[in-house]
């Protein structure tokens, strides 16, 4: 199993010792509180889970600008996306000050419970010019219609940086008990399975037959012992399939159509950035921290709309310094059903053309399922389509 990014062993920021955690929770009762953004809360969960190893907390402006500019922290650590705690000016009180300790509150759980304790290293005002620079570098656009740009722009202009101690995993452990796993836990499961080479598949969507076949092709080509299907469980843009529906559909597919003991189905607690190429590199970092040897990077990986070229998330890896990451990338092409080949193929490997392929847009799939129409079996297994159909019909009835 490959080592984590930036260290010999994982250094998750979750306080696992029960006595220490209780002591910190009691301390937090007398600390100033700060309600953080959903994005910052998700980053705290990722830090606590070991996915953001070896980071110790939130970045200051200089660190974030360096990461945005050249994907490097001042100490030379390769890192692709700034990890920041940005709040509105009116949220700050005189009790929140540099050198102090504060309690970070969870915006995604009723009652805003304690999520982490933070050592405040710096409180800095983010200028409009700095914000624009960060957005442009991370997302390759400043268009406010881009969901990641909009979320980043709405966070505020006060950057609070410093180390954190994570005290819970927000709603992920309770709402997704059978799926949410920390990087530590995934490493343990991979070791228990006796796998040395593992290929990871990132998804924020349900898996149809093309996704299934892409995983199997990648496993065969890199001679992997197993597949990690790793689904995002955090916040998505409107219209995306909710995590519980995705979870059910993926589990049904694996149960029926993958060989036994070849797949780990897990999820992680992060909000989607829709940052395309930069997010693909971030995905590689935390799959390395999970112990995976390969990550599948497919067509328009982590993209949205037409902000990125179809393979920009692959070509960005050509610009990463040698040795920056140990994980390797499996570059997937558009995977479709070919009527001539009578099977699912990657288009780059198929001698036929578009007239021979079965294409269904996301809109067409939604319309068919909402109307109770079965999807072609070449596109989706009926057991999976049935789960999605119930979801879309329920949405249509509520509209």
pLDDT tens per residue across span 16-43: 999 999 999 999 999 999 999 999 999 9
- CATH topology identical between 18-173 and 177-398: no
DSSP, residue by residue, 316-343: GGGGSPTTS-SSEEEE---EEEETTTTE
Active-site entry in 101, 196, 205, 366: 205
**For residue 398, pLDDT beyond 80:** no
18-173 in CATH: which number?
Answer: 3.10.400.10
Instruction: Give me the catalytic one of 105, 140, 204, 278.
Output: 204
Q: Would you say how long the chain is, in residues?
A: 399
* Residue 261: active-site member: no
Q: What is the pLDDT of residues 68-79, one digit of tens each?
A: 999 999 999 999
Q: What is the DSSP letter of 36?
A: -
For residues 209-231, average pLDDT: 95
Any catalytic annotation for residue 53? no
Residue 281 is predicted with a pLDDT of 98
Segment 172-215, tens digit of pLDDT? 999 999 999 999 999 999 999 999 999 999 998 888 898 999 99
- Looking at the predicted structure, is the pLDDT value of residue 361 above 80? no
Share of the chain above pLDDT 90, in %: 80
Break the chain into its structural domains and give their ranges: 18-173, 177-398
CATH of domain 177-398: 3.40.50.620
Which three-class secondary structure state does DSSP give residue 390? helix
Q: What is the mean pLDDT of the chain?
A: 94
- Environment class of residue 363 by beta-carbon count within 10 Å: exposed (0-12), middle (13-18) or buried (19+)? exposed
pLDDT digits (tens, 9 = 90+) for 295-350: 999 988 999 999 999 999 999 999 999 999 999 999 998 888 999 999 999 889 89
Instruction: Give the 3-state secondary structure of residue 145.
Output: coil
Q: What is the pTM of this model?
A: 0.93
The pLDDT value recorded for residue 105 is 97
pLDDT of residue 84: 98
List, as one string, the DSSP characters of 278-297.
HHHHHHHHHHHHHT-SEEEE
Q: What percent of the chain has pLDDT over 70?
A: 100
Residues contacting 235, CB < 8 A, separation 6+: 38, 42, 108, 271, 272
pLDDT band at 11 (very low <50, low <70, confident <90, very high): very high
Residue 399 has pLDDT above 70, yes or no: no
């Amino acid at each position: 199993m490959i080592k984590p990014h930036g260290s010999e062993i994982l250094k998750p920021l979750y306080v696992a010792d029960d006595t220490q955690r209780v002591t910190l929770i009691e301390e937090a009762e007398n600390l100033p509180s700060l309600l953080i953004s959903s994005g910052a809360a998700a980053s705290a969960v990722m830090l606590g889970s070991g996915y953001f190893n070896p980071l110790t907390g939130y970045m200051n402006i200089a660190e974030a600008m360096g990461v945005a500019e050249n994907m490097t922290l001042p100490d030379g650590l390769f890192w692709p996306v700034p990890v920041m705690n940005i709040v509105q000016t009116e949220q700050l009180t005189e009790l929140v000050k540099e050198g102090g300790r504060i309690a970070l509150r969870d915006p995604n759980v009723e009652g805003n419970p304690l999520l982490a304790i933070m050592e405040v290293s710096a409180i800095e005002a983010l200028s409009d010019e700095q914000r624009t620079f960060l957005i442009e570098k991370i997302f390759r656009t400043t268009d406010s219609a881009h969901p990641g740009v909009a979320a980043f722009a709405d966070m505020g202009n006060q950057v609070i940086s410093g180390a954190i101690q994570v005290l819970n995993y927000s709603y992920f452990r309770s709402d997704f008990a059978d799926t949410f796993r920390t990087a530590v836990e995934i490493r343990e499961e991979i070791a228990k399975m006796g796998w040395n080479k593992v290929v990871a598949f990132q998804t924020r969507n349900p898996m149809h037959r093309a996704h299934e076949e892409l995983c199997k092709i990648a496993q065969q080509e890199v001679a992997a012992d197993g597949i990690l299907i790793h689904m995002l469980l955090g916040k998505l843009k409107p219209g995306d399939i909710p995590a519980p529906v995705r979870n059910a559909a993926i589990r049904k597919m694996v149960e029926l159509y993958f060989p036994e003991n070849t797949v780990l189905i897990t999820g992680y607690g992060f909000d989607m950035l829709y940052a395309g190429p930069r997010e693909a590199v971030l995905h590689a970092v935390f799959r390395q921290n999970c112990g995976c040897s390969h990550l599948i990077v497919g067509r328009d990986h982590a993209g949205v709309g037409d902000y990125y070229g179809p393979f920009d998330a692959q070509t960005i890896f050509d610009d990463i310094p040698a040795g920056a990451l140990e994980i390797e990338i499996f570059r997937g092409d558009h995977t479709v059903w070919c009527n001539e080949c009578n099977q699912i193929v990657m288009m780059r490997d198929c001698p036929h053309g578009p007239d021979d392929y079965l294409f269904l847009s996301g809109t067409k799939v939604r319309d068919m399922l909402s109307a109770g129409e079965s999807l072609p079996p070449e596109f989706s297994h009926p057991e999976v389509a049935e789960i999605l159909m119930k979801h879309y019909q329920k949405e249509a009835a509520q509209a």
